[in-house]
Amino acid sequence: MILAILILLGLFRCSAGRMAGRNASYTVKDGVPDFITVDLLTVNPYSRPGTALKSVNGVVIHYTANQGSSAQANRDYFEGLKDSHVTKASAHFVVGLKGEVIQCIPTAEMAYASNSRNSDTVAIECCYRKADGSFESATYASVIKLTAWLCLKYNLSAEDVIRHYDVTGKNCPKYYVEHPDKWKTFRKDVNAMLKKMKKNS
């Protein structure tokens, strides 16, 4: 019986390891990993100013504050600001409910997302379905992967990954502000993924 449990545990750990390994792998074409769909905004003063970032010193995590909306809808909202002039807003990436990742702005350029840290960070907006603001598991997995890849690209650590809340005190991303333990786990998961990516690269 004990032997059977040990064998089962071994099998589980092996398959978990393979899954994690597969999750950390990707191919890069034109500087962009294959899990990212590039759908850049038009350069305009309301969402893509075209300003070059001097350096990237951090990654800022946001939530859309628009429950149930898709990554494409959020990207298209940012694009529409060039005509509607409603506000100035954007993000480099939007991660959707099914884990899809849309890039709106090149990481070498500034987005309008993180107030005083717009000038030296990359911003990720996350879609969510639940009222508490927690991310769907597919969304979470993609955000971790994307964030780890950005850390690898810019030689950052999980400590450099911050919430919008850490910049302005805004309740964003809601669930990870209201549950500091989950935010700790988020950073741990980024760190683990970063380690795997470093091993694979």
- Footprint of Zn ion (CB under 5 A): 62, 164, 172
Residue 12, Cβ density class (10 Å: 0-12 exposed, 13-18 middle, ≥19 buried): exposed
Minimum distance from residue 62 beta carbon to Zn ion (Å): 3
Nearer to Zn ion, 41 or 172 (CB): 172
Q: Which residues of 156-193 are buried (b: 16+ CB within 10 A; e: fewer)?
A: bebebbbbbbbbeebebbbbbbeeeeebeebbebbbeb
Helix 180-200 with 2-24: angle, nearest 10 deg: 80
* Rounded Cα gap, residues 190 and 196, in angstroms: 10
Of residues 167 and 197, the one with the C-beta less far from Zn ion = 167
Nearest distance from C-beta of residue 200 to Zn ion, angstroms: 31
- Give 62 or 75: the residue with its C-beta nearer to Zn ion: 62
Question: Cα separation of 42 and 49, whole Å?
Answer: 9
- Identity of the residue, 62 or 187, whose beta carbon is nearer to Zn ion in the bound complex: 62
Residue 29 half-sphere exposure toward CB, CA atoms < 13 A:
5
Kindly tell me which of 122 and 197 has the beta carbon lying closer to Zn ion. Answer: 122
Cβ atoms 164, 65 nearer than 8 A: no
Q: Nearest approach, Cβ of 164 to Zn ion (angstroms)?
A: 3
User: What is the rounded CA–CA span in Å between residue 120 and residue 66?
Assistant: 26
CB of 192 to Zn ion, least distance (A): 25
Shortest distance in whole angstroms from residue 120 CB to Zn ion: 16
